[in-house]
Chains A and B, each alone.
Chain A
Amino acid sequence: MTAIASPAEVPVQRRPRPVVVEFMRQQPLGAASFVVIVAMMFAGIFAEWVAPYDPLNIDFAGILAPPSWEHLTGTDAFGRDTFSRIIYGARTALIIGFCSSLIGSTLGLLLGASCAYFGGRVDMIIQRFVDIMLAFPIIVLALVVVAVLGKWQVLGIDVNLIFAIAIPIVPNVTRIVRAAALSVRAMPYIDAARAAGYSHARIIGRHMLPNLMAPYLIMLTAYIAQAILLEASLSFLGLGVAEPTPAWGLMLSGNASDFFAEAPWMALFPGIAISLAVFAFSLFGDALRDWLDPKFKT
């Protein structure tokens, strides 16, 4: 006769914590930065409701007003509320940052996976091209691309600027994804798929790419920070978005430097916004890497 264990004797199966809670417990800094990112996204998406003033609204009577309850971060040389411009600037930073990183990382993913899968001459050609691209500092490469492509503004956002920022991201992602893809390529199920006669596109798309999602997502997040910084740098140099579009880098240039002694808030607060955003995305990218990559799990 088989004894039936009483419920009290069954080992207690602890219910797994929700992913978000587990992430917060293991990566508190990552969670904090995620909160900043969400706040930034919220501000950018709902800028019309969050910003106290229209960011384009000129008020010559209120030129260079210092921070006050009326204007939390002061006004600029046109009397525009800088807090509202920072909030709207989050939209510009996120659109350019996210789109650039998405385009750059996705192209890098496809190229990296293709290099690993095909190997041989394809790998050699792409990797030498990547070597050439990597020889240029990211800002220099972006400057060259902006100079070559010129400007193509759609709704105040320079589409060519997005490509200019995306292109320098491609070689970095290609190199990292290729390394990860080489180990995936060596898996038996890839050989099995080839033996089954599947097409190259199907093997890469359905069997390799899903296994490369972890490094891809980490790169995507990390390069958003880079892209935001690059956008701010190019705008500061006059090669990014155009006035009067609110953009953090643009807010740092032009009149901000002219009036730095008289109105330091014009440069200070956009500078803080850039630092905070870059810091948040970088930390979140690191936390995501630690969270997703088994090598970093202890």
Chain B
Amino acid sequence: MIRKGTMALAVTAALAFAGGAVAQTPKKGGSLTFAISAETPHYDCHGSDTYATLHFAAPFYSTLLQFDLPKYPAIKGDLAQSWTTAPDQMSYTFKLHPNVKFASGEPLTSADVKATYDRLRAPPQGVVSTRVATFADIGAIETPDPLTVVFKMKAANAAMLAHFASPWNCIYSAKDLAADANSPKVKINGTGPFIFNEHVKGSHVSGKRNPNYFKPGLPYLDEWKGVFMLQAAAMLNALQGGQVLAEFRSLAPPERDRMVQAMGDKIRIEESSWTLNLLVTFNTERKPFDDVRVRQALVMAIDRWGGSQGLARNSTLRHVGGVIRPGSPLATPEAELVKLPGFSKDIRKSREDARKLLREAGVPDLKFVLHNRTIPQPYTPAGIFLVDQWRQIGVTVENKQLETAPYLAGLNSGNFDVAVDFSNLFMDDSSLGLTKYLSLGKSAENRSRSVDAELDSLYERHMRETDVAKRKQLIQAFEKRLFTQAYQQPLLWWHRIVASHKVVMGWEMSPSHNLGQDLAQVWLNQ
């Protein structure tokens, strides 16, 4: 009780302190060292959906727009100095900042923006873009002059401006892409506040101030260093000892308590619900997971409601929800959710039905390997929880945890039976949340490899629907179809807890760990 009280005080004090910091004049200079709890498998923002890539690469790149985090979900310009939207939402015109230069010294023009978005929406052979579905409504991109870019739409899309603010849309050099469309995977050349310094594999990445950055007076820091710390214990010790000053993804509740207890008023804790969930994903191309009865049985065996209570104490997992973040306007209410397969509160009956389904499918003693990730939070607790839940319907599971690169390689190539996958959103928009579940050819993020025309059709209809109530109905219909087929299903949504030393200023908390990582506004109060 005392600890909880202390915690609340510390958090309140931290937020008050952070609020007070707005009035302070930022100081220039200094070097920020922070922890990154995973190492990116490559540098390409377009082909990634792991924060490991953004925490590594975001400071080196710019995007057209970006989220204005103190006013989230409002947006503001980044490379775009101004923009206009046609009244019918069928075109968007962006005016770019002049005198923007890539780290290589080449000037940025509208041709670079066009090349970037062409790569995002229609990647050439051999290039992976996980945003093809997101930008499918773009019909053409025009560049009337070097500082103007016009997006002509095939269909109106209410979420389009927010998508232009996606942190994943790093603007690449057209010249680099023409030479080798896959060069961003291994080479960094951006217009961001920092210039790439070095990447020592297994150790760290570092950047130094971009002297030609187009936003006057920014960035404040001279340099930064992101240290890869895959072990939570090592990261916490480093944070406590001051070897790293922050970790921008999240701590687990007991880790937060430990930090507050050990560091008192030297640490700042900020909390938020999180636009991120873990999924159970079945490889529908492999037997017996091509059988809907097996998939249904496995999702019905999971006691999400009980799990959310217990796992909230020792992990970042917390909220039960469908494909839209619980509590956000378009989320399915709990009363409706409990009617869907896998969300029943009568877990005893649910598990009886699950056993019956497994018997009918001819696999009463099912055994498989759970493809999981080595990042402790929340993948390890999720693995422990799932193994226990499936054991209770007679299923034997081996929890196999892999480093980020082989984990993602396995997921993307379909080399797994059942996986703990993630839906890493940067905003609450439903067009983004639903994309992951579209048929394999339409969504590179669909690791279940399912093909379902009904889901694709519901998605399309929802995209064109402007009436919010009807849109909500379509989302619920989408969820009903998705969860009945059980290709992949959210396990639990996360809760974000960020710890940083109080000398770290200017960083903004948000419901997504993908946002605000360009570090342009960050400064050190020392």
List the interface of chain A (C-beta within 8 A of B): 56-58, 60, 63, 77-79, 150-151, 153, 155-156, 237-238, 242-244, 253-255, 257-259, 261
Contact = CB atoms under 8 A, between A and B. Distances in A.
B398 A156 contact: yes
A243 B314 contact: no
A60 B398 contact: no
Residue from A153, A156, A254 with most neighbouring chain B CB atoms (10 Å): A254
Interface in B370-426: 374, 376, 380-381, 383-385, 387-388, 391, 398-402, 406
Contact of A60 (B306, B391, B399, B401): B306
9 contacts: A56-B391, A58-B385, A78-B314, A78-B388, A242-B383, A257-B233, A259-B254, A259-B314, A261-B258
B232 interface: yes
A60 B385 CA distance: 10
Contacts of B307: 60
A261 B384 contact: no
A56 B401 contact: no
A58 to B, nearest CB: 4
Contacts, number: 71
B261 A261 contact: yes
B310 interface: yes
Chain A at the B interface: mostly helix, strand, loop or mixed? Answer: loop
Residue from B252, B258, B314, B374 with most neighbouring chain A CB atoms (10 Å): B314
B313 A77 contact: yes
A257 B254 CA distance: 9
B261 A243 contact: no
Given A78-B384, A258-B252, 14 more contacts: A58-B385, A63-B313, A77-B313, A77-B314, A78-B314, A150-B406, A151-B400, A151-B402, A242-B400, A243-B380, A254-B233, A254-B380, A257-B233, A259-B254
B233 A253 contact: yes
Report the interface size class on chain B: 20 to 34
Interface in B250-279: 252, 254-255, 257-258, 261
B230 interface: yes
Interface in B203-248: 230-233
A255 B310 contact: no
A78 B310 contact: yes
A56 B400 CA distance: 16
Nearest to B251: A258
Given A156-B398, A253-B233, A259-B254, A56 B314 contact: no
Nearest 5 pairs between A and B by C-beta? A60-B310, A258-B254, A77-B314, A58-B388, A244-B384
Contacts of A254: 232-233, 376, 380
A89 to B, nearest CB: 15
A254 B381 CA distance: 10
Contact of B399 (A58, A79, A244, A259): A244
Nearest to B258: A258
B309 interface: yes
Nearest to A76: B314
Residue from A60, A151, A237, A253 with most neighbouring chain B CB atoms (10 Å): A60
A16 B309 CA distance: 66
Nearest to A152: B400
A97 to B, nearest CB: 21
